[in-house]
């Protein structure tokens, strides 16, 4: 069953011309980074600091910076895993258009995907920005001054409040980032969800936007999600081992559509089909659904 599902995923990737990957905590936990909400996750060990409290209260800012500089949250410092590198291979093969991520760990960039191809819905924990003028500040520089003087970081350009470049509770997503993600979803022909429970909105609406605009939807996540019924393919499995094998197998095939589709020497492909298929502890369901060219 698992092998057949991986073959179906490879088939979908092989058909696609503009894949958008949507990644959540599940791809980063395979690098040893804790997730947020599960037992033993980040928020079971420390309470989130609301954005409004961070801005209004210097002591909350001090607590937040203490967390950031100590690495207690565990969001940075890890290395990319085989799931991240599989996406790099798909990008290099011209299959992957972009990565939309809910993660703040910078691992997609560290794996080799250009920053311009990564849309970070919830920001990035590896650097800081000024809330007033937007100037970027490196954490190493801020940490050195904080340790030396015990003074809260302030903007070197305007003296404004500096915060890690993440989106905190109570802080709005940047409209331009969300709009860019929506456009990528609308322009995709395969929307590939990797390691997201799809419960946080508006991010969780993106696969639904893609699907309703005609894209195929594949979900690779250890646990079921609320929108599995919309998906063309659902695999409840580990991301790195599955995606790395699929990418390696697909990209090892001889070049050209004729090699991929077998007997059609002209290189044309048969009518595109999407597959409904469920793996894991649930029941098996596989039903081909014709899709327009």
Closest CA to 97 of 199, 215, 261: 215
**DSSP tag of 133:** T
Give the closest residue to 207 by CA, choosing from 110, 100, 289, 109.
100
Catalogue the active-site residues.
122
Q: How many residues does the chain have?
A: 293
Alpha-carbon gap, residue 98 to 23, rounded angstroms: 11
Round to whole Å and give the CA distance between 239 and 226.
19
List helix spans (H) across the chain: 2-15, 25-29, 42-45, 51-56, 58-70, 82-92, 107-111, 139-149, 175-187, 206-212, 239-251, 257-261
How far is residue 84's CA from residue 74's CA, in Å, rounded to a whole number?
18
């Amino acid at each position: 069953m698992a092998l057949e599902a991986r073959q179906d995923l490879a088939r979908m990737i092989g058909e696609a011309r503009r894949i958008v990957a949507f990644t959540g905590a599940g791809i980063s936990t395979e690098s040893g980074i804790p997730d947020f909400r599960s037992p033993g996750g980040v928020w079971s060990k420390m309470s989130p600091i609301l954005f409004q409290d961070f801005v209004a209260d210097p002591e909350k800012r001090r607590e937040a910076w203490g967390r950031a500089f100590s690495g207690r949250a565990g969001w940075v410092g890890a290395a990319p895993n085989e799931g991240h590198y599989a996406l790099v291979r798909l990008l290099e093969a011209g299959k992957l258009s972009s990565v939309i991520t809910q993660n703040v760990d910078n691992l997609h960039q560290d794996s080799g995907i250009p920053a311009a191809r990564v849309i970070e819905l919830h920001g990035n924990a590896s650097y800081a920005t000024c809330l007033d003028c937007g100037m970027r500040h490196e954490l190493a520089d801020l940490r050195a001054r904080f340790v030396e003087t015990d003074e809260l970081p302030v903007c070197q350009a305007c003296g404004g409040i500096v915060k890690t470049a993440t989106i905190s509770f109570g802080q709005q997503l940047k409209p331009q980032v969300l709009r860019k993600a929506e456009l990528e979803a609308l322009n995709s022909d395969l929307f590939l969800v990797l390691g997201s429970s799809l419960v946080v909105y508006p991010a969780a609406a993106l696969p639904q936007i893609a699907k309703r605009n005609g894209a195929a939807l594949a979900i690779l996540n250890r646990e079921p999600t609320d929108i599995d019924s919309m998906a063309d393919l659902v695999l409840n499995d580990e991301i790195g081992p599955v995606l790395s094998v699929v990418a390696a197998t697909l990209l090892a095939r001889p070049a050209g559509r004729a090699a991929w589709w077998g007997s059609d020497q002209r290189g044309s492909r048969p009518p595109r089909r999407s597959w409904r298929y469920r793996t894991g502890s649930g029941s098996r369901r596989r039903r081909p659904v014709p899709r327009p060219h």
